[in-house]
Amino acid sequence: MFVDIFSGVNTDRITNTRIFIASRPTVEYMNAGGDHTADEPREKCGVVGISLADREAARPLYYALYALQHRGQESAGIVTHDGFQQHSHVERGLVGDAFEKGDLESLSGGTGIGHVRYPTAGSLDKSCAQPFSVSFKSGSLGLSHNGNLVNADEVREELAAAGHAFTSDGDTEVIAHDLARNLLEEDLVRAVKHTMNRIHGSYSLAITHDDTVLGVRDPLGNRPLCLGKIDGGYVLASESAAIDTLDGELIRDVRPGELVVLDPDGQGYDTYQLVERESTAHCFFEHVYFARPDSVIDDNLVYEVRRKLGRKLWEESGVESDVVMPVPDSGRAFASGYADAAGETTADGEPRPDGDAGIEFAEGLMKNRYVGRTFIMPTQDERERAVRLKLNPIRSTVEGKSVTIIDDSIVRGTTSTQLVELVREAGAEEVHLRIGAPAIIAPCYFGIDMATREELIAADASTDEIREEVGADSLSYLSIDAVAEALGESRADLCLGCVTGEYPFDVEGEESDRDLDAVTPDPAPADD
């Protein structure tokens, strides 16, 4: 159905502006904004855009979404354009469930965008599923968004006062409305710049304007976005693994504040540096947890970063034990790097004596990959039981041994407690816990669904108190400086809000020691 996004406004230029959304059933869930019972950060979203010559974009978009499935499992969708009209298919569920036989054939055209979603803002029903589609006097618009705006309510109120009618509570629709309004008066580049100067927060965007595909990355580079070459055209994606899936070649990361416009015929692209900042605020958690290990983000292969972090973990807090084992799957590269470093030096930093191989690396926890999300279980006891359904220790690996467990992070601490219990019950004599990231002490407002400050175990507890709570013989986190060094970045160029409480954006109700003047939206007009 078509729904007017402007109501009660008698302006010829805007009365024909309409937003297209599919009929959407209302579904109730435990929490709008995500599963807050899970003891782990939840995925963000993934975006992709493709422009091809002489072949349909739908199937490559479909494959790319599969490659980005780890970034969101709530919904999946594709919007294409055939040069005459826009086509859209958006459904709840995994990529394989959202598209049935014949759906891809209906998405004609050589250009298009796709999206996989895990909700961090807005409701969980289909009304916030993406891509978001708009049809208006200047053409059609599709928009996929990874990130979170901190001034969405402010911009929404301004637009509503100007006559815009909203159909969802998500911040993606706010961006779509603002961009559609600007496109009525300005060319594509100026319209995008004007919108970038109004929205405040983290975002990477894949956009279609008729048959033109464009990508935009927020001025601080908080959310990842990269550009690649594939057979017959070009692709924009949240992670380079999606480009690899299409047998493509990574060209480079989209720069913070940059607009990339793909030619509709798939023959090339243009770039525009629309906003520049003196510093960045890259999300370090992409490398610690979210991104696929085989992805390259901001010139760093995620797998190698995690191995470096594991080596630094040994250098900073290594403990002599019989075996080191990862929490599958995100802890594997950390544990590999940790074990390698332990084979070179002792915990005191001295070279290993001849014949001393260091600490054995072993898979001591096996993961059941067919267990659903724990939040569907009605009681806390059942949710705790789910850890045993998901992970099972290998007794021969741990029995009678001193064991070091490597995990990527601790959120509430409940999973860590249960892991330590599992390994002890399997016969471990000592259990040491090493974490490949700094302690999470504050919530994230920029696209990660972690937990509230009250739910974070490290928000008001010391490391030793946490160690006692989870039942480990020792516990150590990685330092912030080690993370920055592994990424080849300064602390000033990373978003560290979740581990310092200091945010790169002015968040209502939160204090920040960062230089907010550097990230205030540029008041300059869009055409300068």
Q: Which residues are catalytic?
A: 45
Question: CB neighbours of 78 closer than 8 A, spacing ≥ 6?
Answer: 58, 61, 62, 65, 88, 89, 90, 99, 104, 107, 112, 113, 114, 115, 131
For residue 115, give the nearest of 46, 51, 174 by alpha carbon.
46
Residue 144, both tokens? 């996929």
Q: Are 491 and 452 in contact (CB under 8 A)?
A: no
361: left (phi over 0), alpha (psi -120 to 50) or beta: beta
Q: Within 13 Å of residue 156, how many CA atoms lie on the same side as its CB?
A: 16
Question: Which H helix or E strand runs over 296?
Answer: strand 296-297
Q: Residues near 118 by Cβ (< 8 Å), separated by ≥ 6?
A: 34, 42, 43, 44, 45, 71, 72, 73, 74, 449
Q: Is the peptide bond before 329 cis (omega within 30 degrees of 0)?
A: yes
CB 149 within 8 A of CB 179: no
SS3 173: helix
Sequence-distant (≥ 6) Cβ neighbours of residue 130 within 8 angstroms: 45, 75, 77, 90, 115, 117, 143, 144, 145, 172
444 — phi, psi (to 5°)?
-100, 135
| Among 490, 493, 443, 441, residue whose Cα is nearest residue 466 | 441
C-beta separation of 254 from 192 below 8 A: no
Q: Which of 364, 353, 358, 366 is nearest to 311 (CA)?
A: 358
> How many beta carbons lie within 10 A of that of residue 189, not counting itself?
16
User: How far is Cα 281 from Cα 210, in angstroms, rounded to an integer?
Assistant: 32
